[in-house]
Structure 1
């Protein structure tokens, strides 16, 4: 899908034909659309295809008449009927009079610009537009990190009540999301540092403060990711140890009960052998059956008391 936007009378409008100062958004474009855009605006096809590869790394490539900026953006994906978080690449191609964005999905990073919800946004101010996109991207990371923190608290509360594998799996999924975020944010940090040195991207004095804000937001997202990742790792290990300890307690209790119950079993087994009554205690006594049961109970109770004193019950 190809959408074209342009600022007209300080408002963003979707138009049919690209003009000078336009923004061309490619959302999960087809192979035909990519080739058409590449030929029409003299852009390398591989540079337009690069953001469509989920494994593509963040970078900046400077060509003669355009610059490619590739960054990772956060996204929501559904697995097992639940929402989890990951990252996908997004490409920004800046030419002399236009700006192109390429992404696999319709991301909230760009939809806010399309809907005109970003203040002081003009499609023809390309440098500021790039910085605004990067700022929105870092802010979206922070937003998703807060959601992950809340989800981890909810899972932790569930684990206090019901220590099941499902909750531990959810914690592992959240940890996986944080690993994706950490890797992507660090790659984006390298891109931001290189962006300061790219001569093709003009650094206007009024945009300097915005660039500083972008770098600060990205660093804050990295710090939050590291903190939440450490907390989640500690929580997962703690609850895994608790579950393992509870299992050990149950196994110890069952082993103790088995030992106590084995005493009357051994006595009854001895009396159940096909032996003569001579030499068998209480064999000729009319109350012998009762005596054997009482003897078994006495021994079992004595062993149980010993185990109780050793805190095995």
Structure 2
């Protein structure tokens, strides 16, 4: 899908030239849409390929006419009918008056955040649009991290009551999500910090000129990103702690079950031994006595009660 946003000074009907477009948004583009974008803006074909690579790391790269800034954004991934959070690269190609954003997945939350950049100020200044994109992506990370915080609390409550395979799957998914988020936020932090310290150029030529408000916007995005890093680190430690406690609880439960079963085996073994002994076809005490069965049963009960008492005193049972 390709979306082209015009600024207010663009004529309603006119030729599609780069000067008349300020933002080209490519979402999971088809080959013909990529060709159209290449015709509208000064884009490097290899830059588009980089942005569409699922495993592309955040970075900044230049060529003669344009610059690509790659950051990672959170999105909802669906696999085998199950939804989970992951991250995807977003390429921002800057070329003269044209900004091109490229994302390989059509995620509603990402597109909603990006479309907040369709404002007059953003559509006239590349710097403003770049700052707004950084800000919206960092806020999206924070939104998902707050949702993860609520899910962790719910998971702790569930694990305190029951321990099912579904809880284990949720714990694993949360651990993977937080790991992906932490890695993406760390690299996004590096990109934003580098732009704030060293600035950014369009290709090998014009250097972008950020206003004081735009610097404040970058600083806000950097602050939110670092807060996200802090939160994801805490969540990682919390989830690791939950996993360790969960493993300890399961191990302790298994030990308790084995302890009870072993104790019952010992207890049952005593009357079994006595009755088996009196079942032998040899001369035995009390075998001619009419009350022999009562005597043998009494011995079994007394012996069993003694064993149970000893186990209780030694806290074995």
| TM-score higher than 0.5 | yes
Number of residues paired by the alignment? 306
Q: What's the offset of the Cα at 1:249?
A: 1.2
Residue pair 1:7, 1:122 contacting (<8 A) in 2 also: no
Q: Which moved more, 1:215-224 or 1:205-214?
A: 205-214
Separation in 2 of the partners of 1:118 and 1:263? 83
Match of 2:219 in 1: 212
User: Residues of 2 paired with 1:227 and 1:80: CA distance?
Assistant: 29
CA RMSD, 1 decimal = 2.4
Structure 1 SS opposite 2:54: coil
CA shift digits 1:154-186 (9 cap, x unpaired): 111111111223213312211110000011111
Q: Is the 1:4–1:17 contact (alpha carbons within 8 Å) kept by the matching residues of 2? A: no
What secondary structure is seen at the aligned counterpart in 1 of 2:92?
strand
Q: Is 1:302 matched up with 2:303?
A: no
Separation of aligned partners in 2, 1:215 and 1:117: 18
Q: Deviations over 1:165-224 (max 9, x none)?
A: 321331221111000001111111121123232233332333111111111111111111
1:306–1:264 Cα change, 3 Å: same
Tell whether the 8 Å contact from 1:59 to 1:70 is kept in structure 2 after alignment. yes
1:202 aligns with one of 194, 201, 209: 209
Q: State the 1:66 CA deviation.
A: 0.6
Q: Structure 1: state its 5+ residue gaps.
A: none
Secondary structure of the corresponding residue to residue 106 of structure 1 = coil
| 1:239-250 equivalences in 2 (<5 Å) | 239-250=246-257
Task: Provide the residue aligned with 1:158 in structure 2.
Answer: 158
Say which SS state the counterpart of residue 213 (structure 1) adopts: helix
SS in 2 for 1:299: helix
Alpha-carbon distance in 1 for matches of 2:90, 2:97: 20
Please give the TM-score of this superposition, normalised by the length of structure 1: 0.89
Change beyond 3 A, Cα 1:162–1:16: farther
Taking the aligned partners of 2:150 and 2:265, their CA distance within structure 1 comes to 44
Note if 1:191 corresponds to 2:198. no
* 1:1-313 correspondence runs (5 A): 1-8=1-8, 17=16, 19-38=19-38, 41-79=41-79, 82-107=82-107, 108-114=109-115, 116=116, 121-196=121-196, 197=198, 198-200=200-202, 201-273=208-280, 275-276=281-282, 278=283, 280-313=284-317
- Distance of aligned partners of 1:189 and 1:234 in 2 relative to their CA distance in 1, 3 Å threshold: same
* Partner deviation per Cα, 1:226-278 (whole Å, 9 max, x = no partner): 112111211221122122212211211111111101111122222333x32x2
Give 5+ residue unaligned stretches, structure 2. Answer: 203-207
SS at structure 1 position matched to 2:88: strand
